[in-house]
Structure 1
Amino acid sequence: MSFALLVKVTAHETPQQVVTRYNNYKAICNGMGYENVRCKDPIAFQSSLTKQLQNMKNQETVIFDKVSLNEGNAYDHISGIFTSPLDGIYSFTWTTLTKSGKIFLTEIVLNGKKVVLNHTDGRGHDGNPMSTSHANIKMKKGDKVWIRTHGTNGQFAHAYWCFFSGSKL
């Protein structure tokens, strides 16, 4: 909830009196539960793979190591983990590309618990199948989200065609 307050300056008030009156109004509004509205720094990241991934283990973290955007510095390109700097709802999207005859199944996890799956299956197909999944996740400050393989189906993922991104709504 937000509350806008206009302070009228009269000819009889000094600048210090105006500031004091404003601070008094602000204290009253805060006491009533109104929040100060201000611009907030964005939290958003965009990352991709720079190398092919093959024969990954069950629930192995997919590390999207090339970061092209990391506003708020919440994504760690070494661990592949996004750590929420603030409570809120975050939007995540990830895309994987495999090759003919291979499969690459992934899942996004919140603090180690599966949220949504992504199924990229090139078995019985020519070409390079691609799939994208999306999840909106309610997070608390310090919660962690990452992409990991689902089962032992991390057979092959192409470099430069796999992405992971997120932002705070």
Structure 2
Amino acid sequence: MKVNNLEVKLEILEGVVFRLISENDDLKGRFEYLENILENCDKCENEKVKSSDDEEYNHTLSEIDRVVTKSGKEETEVFTSNSARNAEKVTKTRKDSTNTYRREAQDFEKRVEQRSQSDVIAFHAYLSTDSSGPLPAHHILKFDTVSLNRGNGYNAFDGIFIVPVSGTYVFTWAFMSEPRGTVSTQLMRNSDILGTRFADSATSTVWDFATGIVVADVDQGDHIYVQLRLNSHGKVLSIPHSRNTFSGWLLN
């Protein structure tokens, strides 16, 4: 392969010549000896010696040129071969890196998707019927119909949400009092009160409706539930077009 870059070619030749000079110090002495012969011999002998010397000198130059050319070619071939191998290594490395990054990106997307699906914790439940009559204080409302229970934290049989993963949650509950009735509720975490709401239609002939929303940090295993703060006056209503509900979901 021909080297087009002149600087590279000159550097190769310079290195070859320098190596030849270093390895063949006796060449200089040989030239000096030949010069002495030329100075001390007569013209004929001088011409004879000169002719012989020229022949040997030309042969020497030819040999140097051959060695330089050969060495330069070898250096060029080595340089070219190394360049080609390096280019192949760089190309292979880039391809390997690209494939590695692509696989890592795909694995990351899969993990994110799996995590987003598995990490969703949310529930929603409602009372399917009215209470049979007034309810006592501290009665836990059992929202018996469950439409969503991601994470399986909510238990319909006792109305308690057991926190599956610690974090920040949103909880909301809604309820109704019947005409001339009152319902006072509390959102509880274990034995602690997180929030309270009151539906009051004691002096009204229509229903009263109340909704509570709480954002709280809770720990795994905490019990979250809605209970009556006081005895209710009248039933706790839950009718098809206005259900009593209890919901919650994990923020982070």
Distance 1:139 1:164, change over 3 A: same
Whichever residue aligns with residue 48 of structure 1, its letter is: Y
For residues 9-53 of structure 1, the C-alpha deviation after alignment (integer angstroms, 9 at most, x for no partner) is: x724979xx69xx8xxxxxxxxxxxxxx83333111111101212
- % identity of equivalent residues: 23
Q: Which amino acid aligns with 2:172?
A: T
Q: Distance in 2 between matches of 1:86 and 1:74?
A: 9
Aligned counterparts of 1:155 and 1:99: Cα–Cα separation in 2: 6
2: distance between equivalents of 1:154 and 1:62? 15
1:166 to 2:245 alignment: no
| Partner residue in 1 for 2:231 | 152
The amino acid of 1:50's aligned partner reads S
Offset at residue 65 of structure 1 (A): 0.4
Q: Is the 8 A contact 2:180 2:234 kept in 1?
A: no
1:48 aligns to 2:130 (yes or no): no
User: What's 1:122 paired with?
Assistant: 201
1:124 match: secondary structure: coil
4+ residue segments displaced more than 4 Å: 12-15
- TM-score normalised over the length of structure 1: 0.77
How far residue 158 of structure 1 moved from its aligned partner, in angstroms, is 1.1
How far 1:70 sits from its partner (Å)?
Answer: 0.8
Distance 1:154-1:80 versus aligned 2 partners, 3 A rule: farther
Q: What CA deviation, in whole Å up to 9, does each residue of 1:70-90 have, x standing for no partner?
A: 111111000100011111011
Distance in 2 between the 1:144 and 1:64 partners? 15
Q: CA deviation at 1:153?
A: 2.8
One-letter amino acid of the counterpart of residue 161, structure 2: F
Q: Could you say which structure has the greater relative contact order, defined with CA pairs below 8 angstroms and 6 or more residues apart?
A: 1
Secondary structure of the residue aligned to 2:234 is: strand
* Higher fraction of helix: 2
Aligned residue runs from structure 1 range 20-31, under 5 A: none
Q: Is the 8 A contact 1:108 1:115 kept in 2?
A: yes
Report the alpha carbon displacement of residue 56 of structure 1 after superposing the two structures with TM.
1.2
More strand per residue: 1
AA aligned to 2:187 is I
TM-score normalised by structure 2 residue count: 0.52
> Are 1:108 and 1:117, in contact at CA under 8 Å, matched by a contact in 2?
yes
Looking at structure 2, the residues matched to 116 and 49 of structure 1 have their Cα atoms a distance apart, in angstroms, of 20
Aligned partner of 1:98 in structure 2 is 177
Please say which structure displays the higher CA radius of gyration.
2
Question: In structure 2, what is the Cα distance between the partners aligned to 1:154 and 1:122?
Answer: 10
Whole-angstrom distance in 1 between the partners of 2:233 and 2:205: 19
The aligned residue for residue 81 of structure 1 is 160
Deviation of 1:166 after TM superposition, in Å, equals 0.6
**AA at the equivalent of 2:92:** A
Secondary structure of 2:202's match? coil
- Tell me, in whole angstroms, the C-alpha distance in 2 between the residues paired with 1:124 and 1:111: 34
